Amino acid sequence: MELEEIYRRDLNLLVALRVLIEESSVSKAALRLNLSQSAMSRVLGRLRELLDDPLFTRQGQHLIPTQKALEIDRALGEPLESLRQLLSPSEFDPHLCTQTFTIATTDYAMQTILPFALPRIYQEAPNVSFNFLPLQHERLAEQLIYEGADLAIVDTLPIVITVPADLAYLVAERYDLVVKPLPFQFTPFDYSMIWHARCEHSPAQEWLRSIVKEECGRLIAKRIEDMG
């Protein structure tokens, strides 16, 4: 059967079949589905027409499913449970996340922000992984739309031959150097995170962005404190 044909069928009837089997009663199934008993009886009639089977026989006050009804119910088990989970709101659990994030970033952010943020990311979500792309400012839209980048970390460095404080401290710690403040006023630059609309409401993406934002804030606060 083609998808278009399935679309024209009332698949809610299959949920009603599951409820009828569980309740063994038209009246109890009607109460559970918030229908009148007469409406539930019409649903059962439509089910019999759809599936070309009586589906139930009556024994006293109970409905006894036919073999075909039981077979259909068994076949519906996994799809209905998948739909239930798909449609049920759930909180994002980073510890269970196995997503691979693709991040477009500059060399500067790769050496400063990400090493600062990654330990916390892996602490909260040990099973995630990352692909990193060299950020190309003139092709940023293409990287987000066509090349699968989930997030771009952009820094707007001024055109002046200096070393940003966080990179300076990183290198100083590695090579036992001394960091001195600039002897003149300097306008700070901004960090930006950019993402495609497809990622706007993804729980995993929202979690990642919040972690990067918080850790970037901590890094900047630490550097300000270090500079006195």
| Predicted confidence (pLDDT) per residue in 27-80, tens digit | 999 999 999 999 999 999 999 998 999 999 988 889 999 999 999 999 988 888
Tokens 């409820």 found at: 19
Q: Please give the structure tokens belonging to residue 24.
A: 């063994």
Q: What are the pLDDT digits (tens) for 74-86?
A: 998 888 888 887 7
Helix (H) or strand (E) run with residue 115 in it: helix 113-124
Tokens 């799809």 found at: 79
Alpha-carbon distance values, 182 to 28, 81, 172, 196, 216 (Å)? 78, 62, 16, 37, 22
**pTM of the shown model:** 0.56
Mean pLDDT of 145-150: 90
| Model confidence at 125: pLDDT above 80 | yes
Helix (H) or strand (E) run with residue 33 in it: none
End-to-end CA distance of the chain: 71
The alpha-carbon radius of gyration of the chain (Å, integer) is: 29
* CB-based contacts of 218, cutoff 8 Å, min separation 6: 116
